[in-house]
Amino acid sequence: MAASKKRKKPQLLSHTRPTSVKKAPSLSSQATRSVIRNHHTLQKHLHTAIASGDTAAAQGLQAQLANSGGLKKYQEASIQGQSSERGGDSSKVLVEWVKEALLPGICGGTAGRPKLRMLEVGALKVDNACSRSGIFDMTRIDLHSQHPDIQTQDFMRMPLPSKEAIDEDGYDVVSLSLVVNYVGDAVGRGKMLRRVGGYLRSGIQVGGKAALERSALPALFLVLPAPCVTNSRYLDEGRLQDIMTRLGYVKGRSKLSKKLVYYLWRYGGGNAAKERAVAFKKQEIQPGGSRNNFAIVLQ
């Protein structure tokens, strides 16, 4: 009698498919903060070395960045820092503010109303609060996209809508959440903030309700590490207010937490001649040995 063959148990379908995305190992909160801080520090030193023409120092810093995991490791740490378990999704604040600013029943995506157009710069996730809210028609960009729904795009090289097409192709909200502080120099930060206005369209018209909505939108949602404003030699709340006013913004909302400062800046339209009339140089306004050197310069 022939020996009976042992029948194989069918594999689950999920076991027969290759894993398309390998999930990064979870980092502790302390390790996440360490990776982000180290990356920012190396990037800052690298920018200084390049600006001063120190090729040897720049090459050494580039090697250190590569050995520490580079941008990929930084993005992984940033994504984990934004997880709901760690309360790190800054866009929750934006959603709350926009819902409060718009009249009940006419929020984007409700009662036949078109969604608000939002440009998220430096996007890392496609399931954050603004994406899930149903309020926004999202355009997400990042220098090095890690997701098919995030476009690989340098904001500073992204085509600007023409004046004739701004209301159709522009945005109601531009989000720069923990993006400006990533720029390596003060002049570059100023250029980034100045550029935002070119993407913002005029106030939304909804019958007789337009006046209230125009008081909140279009707007820049700006998030910075709190020490950039509270503990810098070169920037404080008043200085930032002056810079944003010069660029054509009015502060709508702000919130200071232990780690971050959030702003919703309403854009009223820039006057190019007025914007160029006053330069904001790197000027010490809060002396002290324990303060940081974060600055924003308008030339």
Q: Which residue has the higher pLDDT, 6 or 66?
A: 66
Please choose, from the candidates 42, 91, 51, the residue with its C-alpha nearest in 3D space to the C-alpha of residue 71: 42
Between CA 87 and CA 75 the distance in angstroms is 17
What confidence tens digit (pLDDT) does each residue in 134-147 have?
999 999 999 888 88
> Three-state SS for 207?
helix
**276 membership: H or E segment, kind and range:** helix 272-277
Average pLDDT (149-176) is 95
What confidence tens digit (pLDDT) does each residue in 191-241 have?
999 999 999 998 654 444 444 444 688 999 999 999 999 999 999 999 999
Quick one: residue 69, left, alpha or beta (phi over 0 = left, psi -120 to 50 = alpha)? left
Residue 12 CA, distance from chain mean position: 40
- Can you give the pTM of this predicted structure? 0.73
The listed range with the strongest mean pLDDT (36-45, 85-94, 99-108, 152-161) is 152-161
